[in-house]
């Protein structure tokens, strides 16, 4: 015999939406913060440095994009894509 006390069911959709928007905001902050000091100088061929700094910049910016994609996958219920793209 099961007894249900109360019927308060919260939808997870608003929380997922907040996480999705916050992940996009994070990417915009990262790109905005590094645009003046790294992205624009690289694009205009005015940034010269060791290759390790370029590798660091590419990996960090790629990670921020992956972070936002992972959040979007979970938010849309595509857990299979989330797991296939590298996170369990």
As a whole number of Å, the CA-based R_g of the chain is 20
* pLDDT tens per residue across all 88 residues of the chain: 555 665 555 555 556 688 888 999 999 999 999 999 888 999 999 988 898 988 998 899 899 999 899 888 888 888 888 888 875 5
The reported pTM is: 0.67
- Number of structural domains the chain divides into: 1
The reply to whether 23 falls in a domain is yes
- Residue 3's pLDDT is what? 59
Domain hosting residue 59, numbered range: 13-84
pLDDT score, position 8:
53
């Amino acid at each position: 015999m099961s007894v249900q006390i109360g019927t308060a069911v919260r939808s997870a959709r608003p929380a997922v939406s907040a996480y999705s928007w916050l992940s996009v905001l994070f990417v915009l902050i990262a790109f905005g913060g590094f645009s003046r000091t790294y992205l624009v100088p690289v694009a205009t061929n005015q940034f010269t440095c060791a290759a390790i700094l370029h590798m660091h910049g590419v990996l960090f910016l790629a990670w921020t994009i992956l972070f936002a994609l992972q959040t979007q996958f979970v938010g849309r219920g595509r857990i299979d894509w989330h797991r296939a793209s590298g996170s369990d």
